[in-house]
Structure 1
């Protein structure tokens, strides 16, 4: 029995919720590996088959269609992390009505946005000549391009709506199910490509085979979600206008934050490099960007399931777990980035010519060291982005990111103009470290401290 003069025993968080969070991250990482392996295998299978069967010209048309859909998807604006945060809080308080309102409101917001995007894109496809969209070299290819573009647009709008399932899965810490459905979609796409090569070697069917199979996998994921959580099935009576404004505002902030970094650091800076150094320089910068995206994918395997788990932990006031999760993410992501950067600096001058050919010979250790510095800053920013999302600070993060991206563009131009590619990479990395690299960790730590429950005061002795 506790004595009157001692403080009350601290009640630990429910161990089942701790185990559930840890298990969700482990399963998400394992299924992400499976899904990524399937995606890589699909690309390795589909590309050479398509080139051989369609021919180089029609494969170029397929590539143009795919790039068009990819470009449109960059401007996809849907609901953001606010939905996952809201569902985590509703789950923690067993508030099924709140979960119904969140899921239904998010669904109808996505339907409205999809309709607007669909109408605008349909008008462009209907009235703008193909040559104006893709150039004079594509004149006369309307019969091949338009069916593929219409099929791709329909699939894009369907996927845009079904992506809501993945946001809901994040709120329920069920990302592993999404990854498993994605892996199954890759297998189905590979089978569909084989059927298309044998019976229907057309560009539109290749678009349907690959993107349609992935859309079907998302449909299955949605059906499984509704079966397990019937409260998230959309119903108009649960639509809440005030909640719609919150979800849409959060989605705009989140989408802007994700979009602006890619547009500035990949597209704008890539244009600067090409304008200054020509095709050879932009080819090297393009390889560096591809390496950044590829290596960041390994960090995403753990960062993607971590932020909703942190949000769920904070909703249950389990701040200790959230802090430990943040520490694990920093250690894993930082350790991976350091190991990758060191390996690239040490082996890059020898690996690049072997991998890419003699045109990439003669690149010194200094170039790789400057790129490694930028890569470290890029991963550090991503880790802090993840924890800003997990702690519910998307709006603040977006405002800081907009400012940082503007400074990055200026710093890149100055570095390139006065010192070349090496100085540009150092300038970009330096801005990342000095702005989001310093500001965001402080903001994350502040929220984690503020979320700590206040311990009960011990009773005064009689």
Structure 2
């Protein structure tokens, strides 16, 4: 049976399930290869250069935000246009996004060229060994190269997600992980140094996406093909403006949730000392596992909901939402019971340290934080699919900042569990506002008639 003959709703679920499954497989392989690569790299470069690598790797986290939301805007625009059969508009979004990110790439490369040679990196990192002093500047340049490749590779991944073929990206990532591990062995055997190690571990996945993903995408989506006469007409100001307007909203939403998820360790450290973060950090490692799996299951539904929205299939969207809620509740109940009952024993066995076993109060507060994360994941999936970003960015940032300010001024005489509870309150308010927005969107769409009149453009209230 051809894909065109399949029921649209079932086809959306099939593609989402394929992507979720491949994402989980890719993550498992990444964890497995990480268990091999870290001791291998540590044994080769030694503690000092390994510390350089880990420090420079923190800069890679900014790839998510350094495209100014263009990737989010491109995915949303491509999904909306392709969903209603406007392949010209989807093509414009794709190539306009690459043009905009290309400008960012040039700026990043220029800054790296001008700034890195002028920095006293040896003093900044307090380096002692000759090998570290020789490798630091080339390793910094290699990190910039990895960031540049990540910006471009991220667009390829977003494009596959937009056309509901994220499972192909995950398959490419599986191949990239094995290739990266093979190159790491080659770097160690041939003694190629820290810069080569940085690229082998951090840059291979993006290279695979660019060199293999783009040809595969063009082959699968014939409407993306261009010729010399149409390429400059495809990259246009109007499309770029639309990408930026939506992307900034999406970026704001991402920054808001990033702020919520990463503020607690900083607050605990600043108020009670860095040592006080250890038990919470270990606990959050456990709590992140079910959240990560849930994210892999939900994220493929974002473009599916966008496509259903453009085709006026409100019934399918509501059905998908009910399934998400049901699944989320089931995961939350099971995960919470396991964490509350088993976390102390698992952490004690895992770390072999009584000091890292959190208190019962901290476990309860952190488990509530995990459950709120599940709620947020479902709500953001629906709102993202309906192209509703501004609310998440505006009230999301305000509530996150407000919660952090309140948590920062609570007396040090109170235990650190109170910090978690304050953040939980802000997080819960965010989820409540998102739920209100979802209900309002569904009501507005239903009000337009049983046939359901779609929303063509993202909300820019």
- Could you tell me whether the CA contact under 8 Å between 1:38 and 1:186 is conserved in 2? yes
CA distance 1:190–1:442, shift in 2 (3 Å): same
1:157 alignment partner in structure 2: 148
> Does residue 262 in structure 1 map to residue 249 in structure 2?
no
- State the alpha-carbon separation in 1 of the partners of residues 50 and 361 from structure 2: 38
Q: 2:248 aligns with which of 240, 249, 252?
A: 252
What aligned pairs does 1:66-81 form with structure 2 within 5 A after superposition? 66-71=57-62, 73-81=64-72
Q: 2:220 aligns with which of 210, 228, 250?
A: 228
> Does residue 419 in structure 1 map to residue 414 in structure 2?
yes
Q: 1:365 aligns with which of 354, 360, 366?
A: 360
CA distance 1:73–1:19, shift in 2 (3 Å): closer
- Could you tell me whether the CA contact under 8 Å between 2:283 and 2:347 is conserved in 1? no
CA distance 1:73–1:319, shift in 2 (3 Å): closer
1:460 alignment partner in structure 2: none
What aligned pairs does 1:14-413 form with structure 2 within 5 A after superposition? 16-71=7-62, 73-131=64-122, 134-137=124-127, 141-219=132-210, 220-233=212-225, 235-263=231-259, 265-266=261-262, 268-360=263-355, 363-413=358-408
CA distance 1:110–1:232, shift in 2 (3 Å): farther
- State the alpha-carbon separation in 2 of the partners of residues 359 and 146 from structure 1: 41
- Could you tell me whether the CA contact under 8 Å between 1:193 and 1:209 is conserved in 2? yes
> Does residue 447 in structure 1 map to residue 438 in structure 2?
no
Please state how far the C-alpha of 1:108 moved relative to its aligned partner.
0.8
- State the alpha-carbon separation in 2 of the partners of residues 305 and 94 from structure 1: 20
- Could you tell me whether the CA contact under 8 Å between 2:139 and 2:194 is conserved in 1? yes
Aligned length: 441
Structure-2-length-normalised TM-score: 0.89
1:9 alignment partner in structure 2: none
- State the alpha-carbon separation in 2 of the partners of residues 215 and 209 from structure 1: 11
Please state how far the C-alpha of 1:306 moved relative to its aligned partner.
1.0
1:459 alignment partner in structure 2: none
Please state how far the C-alpha of 1:33 moved relative to its aligned partner.
1.5
- State the alpha-carbon separation in 2 of the partners of residues 338 and 138 from structure 1: 51
- Could you tell me whether the CA contact under 8 Å between 1:107 and 1:164 is conserved in 2? yes
- State the alpha-carbon separation in 2 of the partners of residues 138 and 442 from structure 1: 57
- State the alpha-carbon separation in 2 of the partners of residues 438 and 320 from structure 1: 23
Give unpaired runs (5+ residues) of structure 1. Answer: 1-12, 457-462
Q: 1:436 aligns with which of 410, 414, 430?
A: 430
- State the alpha-carbon separation in 1 of the partners of residues 119 and 129 from structure 2: 12
- Could you tell me whether the CA contact under 8 Å between 1:104 and 1:233 is conserved in 2? no
Deviation per residue, 1:12-48 (Å, 9 max, x gap): x995321220111110111012100111012111001
- State the alpha-carbon separation in 1 of the partners of residues 155 and 352 from structure 2: 43
- Could you tell me whether the CA contact under 8 Å between 2:127 and 2:133 is conserved in 1? no
Question: SS in structure 2 opposite 1:309?
Answer: helix
- Could you tell me whether the CA contact under 8 Å between 1:103 and 1:233 is conserved in 2? no
Please state how far the C-alpha of 1:365 moved relative to its aligned partner.
1.9
Question: SS in structure 1 opposite 2:147?
Answer: helix
Task: Give the stretch that moved more between structures: 225-234 or 423-432.
Answer: 225-234
Aligned-residue Cα RMSD (Å) equals 2.4
CA distance 1:107–1:201, shift in 2 (3 Å): closer
CA distance 1:236–1:293, shift in 2 (3 Å): farther
CA distance 1:137–1:200, shift in 2 (3 Å): closer
- State the alpha-carbon separation in 2 of the partners of residues 192 and 90 from structure 1: 40
CA distance 1:361–1:153, shift in 2 (3 Å): closer
Give unpaired runs (5+ residues) of structure 2. Answer: 452-461
- State the alpha-carbon separation in 2 of the partners of residues 420 and 307 from structure 1: 39
- State the alpha-carbon separation in 2 of the partners of residues 50 and 56 from structure 1: 10
CA distance 1:390–1:455, shift in 2 (3 Å): closer
- State the alpha-carbon separation in 2 of the partners of residues 84 and 74 from structure 1: 15
Deviation per residue, 1:113-163 (Å, 9 max, x gap): 22223323333212221046x443469644211112212212321220121
Question: SS in structure 2 opposite 1:245?
Answer: helix
